[in-house]
Chains A and B, each alone.
Chain A
């Protein structure tokens, strides 16, 4: 199956620790998006990346959060010094380059719990 792979599926961190969430896009997809879903809410856009470039980070909190999509390897969403309010499901999606028949493929998410 060539879907979007996210790991880990579940992540527990103590307050103040760092969380690293990984996303491997569909093979051949060059666009990666990260979304956050708080309990009982819809998904909120965080950041849009292409290989080695951040295209749109308008949804990223100004502090503690960063994302990258290196030339080789998965995209990483990094949360430093986690707080309880960071507890959420984080979803990654990927899409191919352009075209009217494009579509987003979502991963199964990483559920972060901060204790």
Chain B
């Protein structure tokens, strides 16, 4: 069975500071990895995904993530936080294309002016 662990349910950063959200997974097969953002009372928006190929993935809104197989990690970073980054962020994994997603518990990002 797959599982996803997001370290830290809340992360507080100052505007302009580095954002780092941690995600570790367990999977019996090479995983497909995703980061989603959810604003209050809205659906999920895809930030980025890793399927195959280059392990450093760039997404929307200046976010990027690196797949590290040896560490079973897929941490999300952004060099400079913006107020619009204040939202819930979810890491997810699936076994294959078209397969169900398993989500982590989420990390809420708070951005201080």
Q: Which of A97, A103, A108 contacts B42 (CB 8 A)?
A: A108
Of A12-20, A43-51, A64-72, A73-81, the one with at least 4 CB within 8 A of chain B: A43-51
B interface residues, tally (CB under 8 Å): 22
Whether B90 pairs with A33 at a CB distance below 8 angstroms is: no
Whether A102 pairs with B43 at a CB distance below 8 angstroms is: no
Whether B97 pairs with A102 at a CB distance below 8 angstroms is: yes
Q: 1/0 per position for A81-111, CB-CB distance to B under 8 A?
A: 0000000000101010111111110111101
Check: B106 CB closer than 8 A to any chain A CB.
Answer: yes
Check: A42 CB closer than 8 A to any chain B CB.
Answer: yes
Whether A41 pairs with B105 at a CB distance below 8 angstroms is: yes
Whether B98 pairs with A97 at a CB distance below 8 angstroms is: yes
- The answer for the CA separation of A59 and B99 in the assembled complex, in Å, is 13
Chain B nearest CB from A52 CB (Å) reads: 16
Chain A nearest CB from B57 CB (Å) reads: 13
24 A-B contacts, Cβ less than 8 Å apart?
Answer: A4-B43, A31-B98, A33-B101, A35-B103, A41-B105, A42-B105, A42-B106, A43-B44, A43-B101, A43-B103, A56-B100, A59-B100, A91-B43, A95-B98, A98-B97, A98-B98, A100-B97, A103-B49, A104-B101, A106-B43, A107-B43, A108-B42, A109-B43, A111-B41
Which residues on A are within 8 Å of B, measured CB to CB? Answer: 4, 31, 33, 35, 41-45, 48, 56, 59, 91, 93, 95, 97-104, 106-109, 111
The 7 tightest CB contacts between A and B, nearest first, are A42-B103, A108-B43, A106-B44, A106-B43, A45-B100, A43-B103, A42-B105
Which residues on B are within 8 Å of A, measured CB to CB? Answer: 34, 36, 41-46, 49, 51-52, 90, 97-106
